Chains A and B, each alone.
Chain A
Amino acid sequence: MTIPRQGRIRLVLSLLVILVSIISLMTGQMYIPPLTIIKIIASNFIPLTPDWSPTVESVIMNVRLPRLAAGLLVGAGLSISGASFQGLFRNPLVSPHILGVAAGAGFGAALGILMSDSLVVIQISAFLFGMISVAAAYLLSRVYHTSPVLMLVLAGIIVGSLFSALTSFLKYIADPMNRMPAIVFWLMGSLNNVTGKDLLYVGPVFAACITALLLIRWRINVLSMGEEDAKAMGVNTELTGAVIIVCATVITAAAVCISGIIGWIGLVIPHIGRLLVGPDHRYLLPVSLLVGAGYLVAVDTIARSIMVVEVPIGILTALIGAPFFAILLRKNRPGW
């Protein structure tokens, strides 16, 4: 019995993600052997006498594990949202940020940084404004009755520019010594601030939305054939579209609120997925999810290891991803 091609690809990708995760736990500012990692994690469930230093335990439990989990969630979430949006809008240039969620969340974070010193306040503010901006874009698109998808994209651009301008304004009036740099730095994206507690709140949100998108993924195929055809086939396009938008927005806003704005992933990972399994969303979504998760974890491991000072991850995702993507494009011409 042979495993079908789709299944093989998924299996290989899953193994790759696991491998990258293990390497990620081992590497960093200090090397920790795999056996110690296993013992440390196991000691939370079964009684073990520690033969490792509390520092090593704290590095694994409080820094690397939450960071790994956040990398997996954000990478998976952004890529699956990107793949769904590209299907929904029938446009390969769409990223999950298209409806203004990143601009809104960026403004929310900047406002949070101005108003408060607390990370929690900054995160909540980012999440709220991410949701507000997409809601605004959605409502705005309802005002006009022609071609809903096109109007939605345009409304997203309008709302996004508005919030970008507001963010620039906040940067302009912010104290140039501390607050302004903090805003700029935050907007560049980093997984350095993730805590286990964040994941407790954000993790279930990610899981729920990713599951929802996976469950309706065959409908995206129908939607991507065009609105008229989809309606003719009896799919409620409005409802499906709304579910996709809500899930992708919640994922992106949650991602921005724990990691800042990480570009490139949501736009390009779906293309890599398409190169691997073609444009069928039933296969594309799970594969994008795996590629995105593995990719972000790999890049984040590099971000916290190559230099003693942190390299903003947004820079690396593009720096490593772009040439890689160019080579892939050259090798096999993808159909869209």
Chain B
Amino acid sequence: MDRMIKILALQALSVMIIASFSCSPGKGDGEITAGPEDRVITDMKGNRVVVSKKLERVALLGGPTGQIAYILGAQERLCAVTGSIATSELIRIFDPSIASRPTVRTVSGSVNVEELIKSNAQLVIAGDTDGEIVRSKTGIAVAYFDDSIGDRVEAIKKEIMFYASVFEAEKRGEAYNNYLDSMIAFINERISSIPVNKRKVIYNGYNSNHLVTLGGDTFMQERIELAGCLNAAKEIGTSSKQEGLHSGLGEVSMELVLKWNPDIIVIDMGSLEELKNDSRWASIKAVKNGEVYTQPAGAFIWDRPTAEAAVLHPLWMAMTAYPEKFRDISFRKEIKRFYKEIFGFNLTDKHARMIEEGSFRAKIMKGAKSQ
């Protein structure tokens, strides 16, 4: 009996010891030894990470955040990137070299460790899952971004400033944040006088069946409200992971969309004609009034919490819903101004048109194949 208790106690102890070693990612690094050539940065989880003062080779393993390097003018220092940024058609036009950077990650949890080591990165910036893989398999320093909150406007601004501190590009980070703030203020100034009962209901119908949407508990709720509109899917929650769909997305039934009867429908796949000729959709206000649109897409798809979409997507929705309030504004000009001032990309009229029409989306979607 005594023996049993002893064995059990030993087992419990060993479990505790193992647990204490393997506890939450990025915690408990112990003392930090920073040499004269080093500096210390604080990541978004509050960890202090030592990096060289000459930080020239950084691997970005974030999905939608890959474009931040361009906003900060730090693209030359990327030594390895994630798939969605390397295959972005718009980015490739203005930085052809991105296509030749090693792609060391496709989705969360799938990191090509050998390729990452070969890229000789000094620092990896990643979310929890990817960061843990890199930590456990390589000796490369990892700074974590917070992928649990990387959603709403305030979180995006915080994230930008974190990346800015890594790349020592605080000025450009602030420039982006100011741009974002003034855009939100501008839209608000134009739409704030619209009474709540006159605000238009937007339904985002994604996927080829147009029945996948972002609910009231996602970043899209805030984005639609910033545009002075109402989210048809406000009452439903989609932020939990649904098997087979990207996080935040949920599929609803056709009759729910009929019940919502939105004023505006925005799709991302398929043709507008096909939807307009489908009898199931015919009784909806948006279809009757011809208010069905394809969502624009730039460096990345806009139904994600990216830096570009945070600025331009609410403007596009507001201009689409209330064109009479924005008669003096050209959306394509706004596109060109944003990418020039923030990304340093000189878009042609054709590029701006392609963004507005969403034609880059098809290329983003098919990008992974053409690799």
Q: Whole-angstrom distance from the CB of A75 to the nearest CB of chain B?
A: 18
A62 proximity list for chain B (CB < 8 A): 254, 258, 279-280, 282-283
Please tell me if A97 contacts chain B, counting CB pairs below 8 Å.
Answer: no
On whether A176 and B368 interact (CB within 8 A), knowing A119-B208, A188-B243, the answer reads yes
Of the residues A63, A119, A310, A312, contact of B258 by C-beta under 8 Å: A63
How far does the alpha carbon of A122 sit from the alpha carbon of B207 in the complex, in Å?
Answer: 13
Q: Whole-angstrom distance from the CB of A259 to the nearest CB of chain B?
A: 12
- Residues 143-169 of B at the A interface (beta carbon under 8 Å): none
Chain A, interface residues (CB within 8 Å), range: 35 or more
How far does the alpha carbon of A114 sit from the alpha carbon of B235 in the complex, in Å?
Answer: 32
How far does the alpha carbon of A185 sit from the alpha carbon of B364 in the complex, in Å?
Answer: 20
| Nearest B-chain residue to A173, judged by Cβ | B369
A117-129 Cβ-contact flags toward B at 8 Å (1 or 0) = 1110010000000
A168-180 Cβ-contact flags toward B at 8 Å (1 or 0) = 0000011111111
Q: Whole-angstrom distance from the CB of A59 to the nearest CB of chain B?
A: 5
Q: Could you list 26 examples of A-B contacts with CB < 8 Å? A: A55-B259, A58-B284, A59-B259, A117-B208, A117-B270, A118-B270, A118-B274, A119-B209, A173-B368, A175-B365, A175-B366, A175-B367, A175-B368, A177-B365, A181-B249, A182-B207, A184-B243, A185-B251, A193-B209, A193-B211, A196-B279, A196-B280, A304-B253, A304-B255, A308-B256, A309-B250
| Nearest B-chain residue to A182, judged by Cβ | B207
Contact across chains for B282 and A58 when beta carbons are under 8 A apart:
yes
Please tell me if B74 contacts chain A, counting CB pairs below 8 Å.
Answer: no
Contact across chains for B255 and A176 when beta carbons are under 8 A apart:
no
| Nearest A-chain residue to B367, judged by Cβ | A175
A29 proximity list for chain B (CB < 8 A): 253, 255-256, 259
Contact across chains for A309 and B246 when beta carbons are under 8 A apart:
no
B246 proximity list for chain A (CB < 8 A): 177-178, 181
B367 proximity list for chain A (CB < 8 A): 175
| Nearest B-chain residue to A184, judged by Cβ | B244
How far does the alpha carbon of A62 sit from the alpha carbon of B277 in the complex, in Å?
Answer: 13
A117 proximity list for chain B (CB < 8 A): 208, 269-271
Please tell me if B236 contacts chain A, counting CB pairs below 8 Å.
Answer: yes
| Nearest A-chain residue to B253, judged by Cβ | A304
B residues at A contact (CB < 8 Å): 63, 83-84, 106-107, 207-209, 211, 215, 235-236, 238, 242-246, 249-256, 258-259, 261, 268-271, 274, 278-280, 282-284, 301, 304, 364-369
13 additional contacts, CB 8 Å, given A63-B280, A179-B368, A309-B242? A28-B253, A117-B271, A175-B364, A176-B107, A184-B244, A188-B243, A190-B251, A192-B253, A196-B279, A197-B279, A308-B256, A309-B250, A310-B253
Q: Whole-angstrom distance from the CB of B150 to the nearest CB of chain A?
A: 15
| Nearest A-chain residue to B280, judged by Cβ | A62
Contact across chains for A195 and B208 when beta carbons are under 8 A apart:
no
Q: Whole-angstrom distance from the CB of B308 to the nearest CB of chain A?
A: 15
| Nearest B-chain residue to A116, judged by Cβ | B208
| Nearest A-chain residue to B212, judged by Cβ | A185
Q: Whole-angstrom distance from the CB of A161 to the nearest CB of chain B?
A: 22
Contact across chains for A178 and B259 when beta carbons are under 8 A apart:
no
How far does the alpha carbon of A180 sit from the alpha carbon of B367 in the complex, in Å?
Answer: 13
Contact across chains for A309 and B255 when beta carbons are under 8 A apart:
no
| Nearest A-chain residue to B268, judged by Cβ | A178
Contact across chains for A195 and B280 when beta carbons are under 8 A apart:
yes
Q: Whole-angstrom distance from the CB of A126 to the nearest CB of chain B?
A: 13
Of the residues B279, B365, B369, contact of A195 by C-beta under 8 Å: B279
On whether A30 and B208 interact (CB within 8 A), knowing A175-B368, A196-B279, the answer reads no
B365 proximity list for chain A (CB < 8 A): 175, 177-179
Please tell me if A281 contacts chain B, counting CB pairs below 8 Å.
Answer: no
How far does the alpha carbon of A142 sit from the alpha carbon of B91 in the complex, in Å?
Answer: 54
Please tell me if A271 contacts chain B, counting CB pairs below 8 Å.
Answer: no
Of the residues A190, A197, A308, contact of B236 by C-beta under 8 Å: A308
A119 proximity list for chain B (CB < 8 A): 208-209, 270
Contact across chains for B280 and A310 when beta carbons are under 8 A apart:
no
Of the residues A173, A178, A196, A308, contact of B235 by C-beta under 8 Å: A308
How far does the alpha carbon of A193 sit from the alpha carbon of B364 in the complex, in Å?
Answer: 25
A58 proximity list for chain B (CB < 8 A): 258, 280, 282-284
| Nearest B-chain residue to A121, judged by Cβ | B208
Contact across chains for B208 and A113 when beta carbons are under 8 A apart:
yes
| Nearest B-chain residue to A172, judged by Cβ | B106
Contact across chains for A176 and B253 when beta carbons are under 8 A apart:
no
Contact across chains for B253 and A63 when beta carbons are under 8 A apart:
yes
B255 proximity list for chain A (CB < 8 A): 28-30, 59, 63-64, 304
Contact across chains for B244 and A188 when beta carbons are under 8 A apart:
yes
B211 proximity list for chain A (CB < 8 A): 192-193, 310
How far does the alpha carbon of A8 sit from the alpha carbon of B249 in the complex, in Å?
Answer: 48
On whether A192 and B254 interact (CB within 8 A), knowing A59-B259, A173-B369, the answer reads yes
Contact across chains for A176 and B279 when beta carbons are under 8 A apart:
no
A57 proximity list for chain B (CB < 8 A): 283
B238 proximity list for chain A (CB < 8 A): 309
| Top 5 A-B pairs, shortest CB-CB distance | A185-B244, A184-B244, A58-B283, A309-B250, A175-B368
B235 proximity list for chain A (CB < 8 A): 308
A47 proximity list for chain B (CB < 8 A): none
Q: Whole-angstrom distance from the CB of A304 to the nearest CB of chain B?
A: 4
Q: Whole-angstrom distance from the CB of A201 to the nearest CB of chain B?
A: 15
How far does the alpha carbon of A325 sit from the alpha carbon of B219 in the complex, in Å?
Answer: 43
Q: Whole-angstrom distance from the CB of A301 to the nearest CB of chain B?
A: 11
Please tell me if A54 contacts chain B, counting CB pairs below 8 Å.
Answer: yes
Most central of B209, B238, B246, B261 by chain A CB within 10 Å: B209
How far does the alpha carbon of A153 sit from the alpha carbon of B63 in the complex, in Å?
Answer: 44
A196 proximity list for chain B (CB < 8 A): 279-280
Of the residues A64, A114, A182, A193, contact of B369 by C-beta under 8 Å: A114
Contact across chains for B301 and A178 when beta carbons are under 8 A apart:
yes
Contact across chains for B236 and A309 when beta carbons are under 8 A apart:
yes
How far does the alpha carbon of A268 sit from the alpha carbon of B238 in the complex, in Å?
Answer: 33
| Nearest B-chain residue to A67, judged by Cβ | B254
Most central of A63, A175, A185, A312 by chain B CB within 10 Å: A175
